[in-house]
């Protein structure tokens, strides 16, 4: 099968399966609010944290403070209490407060709309930046996390050693119409089917298009 067609078959196949899975909480926030600030903060909270914990922590935090001004004025201890038990909650509380101060001071309380500007904020990596640009501002960008990196290498549509390399490679092979949604699709797919260890290949709706590169034990 011609490679571009195979890539479309893989992505469309995952889209058909998405109804079986919960979408990532950050995607839900973006769809409900279209607020880059909420997308940014929710993404920071989600790192190394289960989705249901991120959801509850984000909701508590935004009920108390939903703008950079309000959040930057909260004591760190208050932020810690509101976001607990997200992973590394003490570090994240300090990071979020510092970012909000920076947004107020340097950006007139507006979240930057480019990856290059977002990564200047201490604590914001490329993954978070691309997620804010794509889901917060609706601009074409591919957010690559561990799921996207793992699955696209398993599919053989890229052959890369790091998420950043994967991102750059995916821009060359994935049609632009899929860029924004690719992260949502593959995070849900990776959490439920194409797992890091012993993926559920027998239940996979796109297995006929997948060479299963690097897969050892599978179910």
Is residue 153 pLDDT above 80, yes or no? yes
pLDDT tens across 108-124, in order?
Answer: 999 999 999 999 999 99
Average pLDDT over residues 195-204: 94
Task: For the chain, give every domain's residue range.
Answer: 3-22+141-209, 25-136
Identical topology for domains 3-22+141-209 and 25-136:
no
Number of Cα atoms under 13 Å in the Cβ half of residue 155: 29
Per-residue pLDDT band at 29 (split at 50, 70, 90) = very high
Burial class of residue 142, CB neighbours in 10 A (0-12, 13-18, 19+)? buried
Is residue 19 pLDDT above 90, yes or no? no
pLDDT above 90 coverage of the chain, percent: 94
pLDDT for the residue 75: 98
Following DSSP, what letter does each residue of the chain receive, concatenated? --HHHHHHHHHHHHHHHGGGSPPPHHHHHHHHH--HHHHHHHHHHHTTS-HHHHHHHHHHHHHH--SHHHHHTS-HHHHHHHHTTSTTHHHHHHHHHHHHHHHHHHHTT---SSHHHHTTSTT--HHHHHHIIIIIT--------HHHHHHHHHHTS---SSHHHHHHHHHHHS-GGGHHHHHHHHHHHHHHTS-SSS--GGG-TTGGG---TT--S--
Is residue 216 pLDDT above 90, yes or no? no
Q: Which CATH architecture has domain 3-22+141-209?
A: Orthogonal Bundle (1.10)
| Phi, psi (rounded to 5 degrees) for 74 | -75, 140
pLDDT for the residue 201: 95
Mention the CATH class of domain 25-136: mainly alpha
Mean residue pLDDT of the chain comes to: 96
Q: Of 144, 157, 217, nearest to 185 (Cα)?
A: 144
Is residue 80 pLDDT above 90, yes or no? yes
Structure tokens at 192: 């439920």
pLDDT for the residue 217: 85
Q: Are 155 and 212 in contact (CB under 8 A)?
A: no
167's CB contacts (< 8 A; 6+ apart) are 126, 130, 142, 143, 144
Per-residue pLDDT band at 15 (split at 50, 70, 90) = very high
């Amino acid at each position: 099968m011609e490679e571009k067609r195979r890539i479309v078959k893989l992505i469309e196949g995952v889209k058909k399966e998405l109804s079986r899975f919960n979408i990532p909480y950050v995607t839900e926030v973006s769809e409900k609010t279209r607020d880059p600030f909420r997308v940014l903060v929710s993404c920071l909270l989600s790192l190394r944290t289960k989705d249901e914990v991120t959801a509850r922590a984000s909701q508590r935090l935004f009920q108390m403070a939903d703008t950079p001004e309000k959040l930057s004025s909260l004591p760190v201890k208050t932020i810690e209490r509101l976001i607990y038990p997200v992973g590394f909650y003490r570090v994240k509380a300090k990071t979020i407060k510092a970012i909000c101060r920076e947004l107020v001071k340097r950006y007139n309380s507006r979240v930057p709309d480019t990856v290059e500007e977002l990564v200047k904020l201490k604590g914001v990596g490329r993954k978070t930046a691309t997620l804010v640009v794509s889901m917060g501002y609706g601009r074409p960008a591919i957010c690559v996390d561990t799921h996207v990196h793992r699955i696209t290498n398993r599919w053989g549509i890229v052959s890369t050693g790091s998420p950043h390399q994967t991102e750059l490679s995916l821009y060359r092979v994935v049609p632009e119409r899929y860029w924004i949604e690719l992260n949502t699709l593959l995070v849900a797919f990776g959490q439920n089917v194409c797992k890091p260890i012993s993926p559920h290949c027998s239940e996979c709706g796109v297995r006929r298009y997948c060479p299963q590169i690097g897969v050892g034990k599978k179910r």
